[in-house]
Structure 1
Amino acid sequence: MAQKRADMIAETRGKLIKAARDAFAAKGYAESSMDDLTGQAGLTRGALYHHFGDKKGLLQAVIAQIDEEMMARLSVIIDEASTTWDGFIDESIAYIKMSLEPEIQRLVFLDGPAVLGDPSQWPSQNACIRSTQHSLEKLIDEGTIRAVDTEATARLVMGALLGASLWIAHAADPEAASEKAVESFRALASGLLLTGNAANQS
């Protein structure tokens, strides 16, 4: 019985998140009404309030789902890289370029910050910082980069990536902004390399 109830709860939450994600991506958060969301999911407003509190809570759940997908994609990029340094650079550039994807751009970098506040304070950022810190620690152990405070550097790196992504999302020409951001990030990141490695990694 308990498992059946848990399955029903998960199914209801899943329906609401899918309906909200589709609507927010297509029309934007502000233009999506709760009646439209619940109607599309075949549920009532009461179900939305019960599971998410309000429309804002539903947006949080949608962004959390997208964040998980982004982290999974980035993890694959790290795993497939031939070196730890390549993984660090490729992951960072992929994060920047994700801000060009319409759904991510609108929900994570436009509507999300407007409704939920500073994205650097979102729980997902802590996971990104931990992942970056782990990469930096490995790079130091391998002798690829200079010895730095990995937490401080990870926060600086993620701050730069997040700032670039927000800039791209709001830019008149996102593609051009993305190219500039990637080039500038490569230049900034190269400053971490030990002198003997700089030529080899450029």
Structure 2
Amino acid sequence: MDRARQRGPYAKTAARRADIIRAARDSFAERGYEGASLRDIAKRAGITHAGLLHHFQNKDEVLTAVLAQRDDEEWERSLAEVDGQSSPRRYLTETLLQHQRAPELMRLWAELTAAASRPGHPAHAYFVDRHERVRSHTAEAMREREAEGRLPEGLDPDSAAALFLAVLHGLQVQWLLNQDLDIIAPLDHFLDLVLLPVGREASTETPA
């Protein structure tokens, strides 16, 4: 009975936070970070401004929660794609297209990533952990491809992972500056250079 009673308030709090994050995601996507207000987010979530402040101290905390949720969703989807043996290229293409449908969130992600590089930023620890998790996961995937003979000779898995993440993030920033830019084709070309098809000898496919 005691345990059941403890679950009630916790579940209610988690549900309320989820409502706030959903409302904030809509508000940020429509109005941008500067245009969105905590009062607007609270109204969308169906609570008072004071009620929102019970869960989040400021707008920076709300934004971090929104972007962390988006990151978690994409992480879970990427794991499901791997388990389902789906094409990594198709997953990456779908992810980029999804980001392009919400450019304001993509812009906020880029801005917060840069700001959180400062050790004193409240989201610094989260982004450091997130970067290491993604880098480690990508490097492991590259090691699997190296074992299959699918990395060019002289390119180690850690370097391949760093290059891949730099290209993926850099292309999105370029698109934010010019939304007529095609970033899917350049990503495909990069993958062609880094990931050799199965059965081809890496030593014979490395450009001179």
TM-score of Structure 1 vs Structure 2, range by shorter chain: 0.7 to 0.9
Q: Deviations over 1:113-169 (max 9, x none)?
A: 335535787243333212211211211223332475433432221121111122123
Distance 1:198 1:37 in 2: 56
Check 1:90–1:185 CA distance in 2 against 1; reply closer, same or farther (3 A cut): farther
Q: Which runs of 5+ in 2 are unaligned?
A: 118-123
Does the CA contact (< 8 Å) of 1:99 and 1:169 recur in 2?
no
2:79 aligned residue (75, 80, 89):
75
Instruction: State the 1:17 CA deviation.
Output: 0.6
1:169 aligned residue (152, 176, 186):
176
Q: TM-score normalised to the size of structure 2?
A: 0.75
- Aligned letter for 2:109? G
Distance 2:204 2:30 in 1: 46
Structure 1 or 2, whichever has the larger Rg, is 2
Check 1:163–1:194 CA distance in 2 against 1; reply closer, same or farther (3 A cut): farther
Q: Which runs of 5+ in 1 are unaligned?
A: none
Matched residue of 1:39: which SS?
A: helix
Q: Which residue of 2 aligns with 1:46?
A: 50
2:24 aligned residue (17, 20, 23):
20
Matched residue of 1:12: which SS?
A: helix
Matched residue of 1:144: which SS?
A: coil
Does the CA contact (< 8 Å) of 2:168 and 2:187 recur in 1?
no
Size of the alignment, in residue pairs?
191
* Structure with the bigger percentage of helix: 1
Distance 2:112 2:138 in 1: 27
Q: CA RMSD in A?
A: 3.2
Does the CA contact (< 8 Å) of 1:77 and 1:91 recur in 2?
yes
Q: Which residue of 1 aligns with 2:111?
A: 114
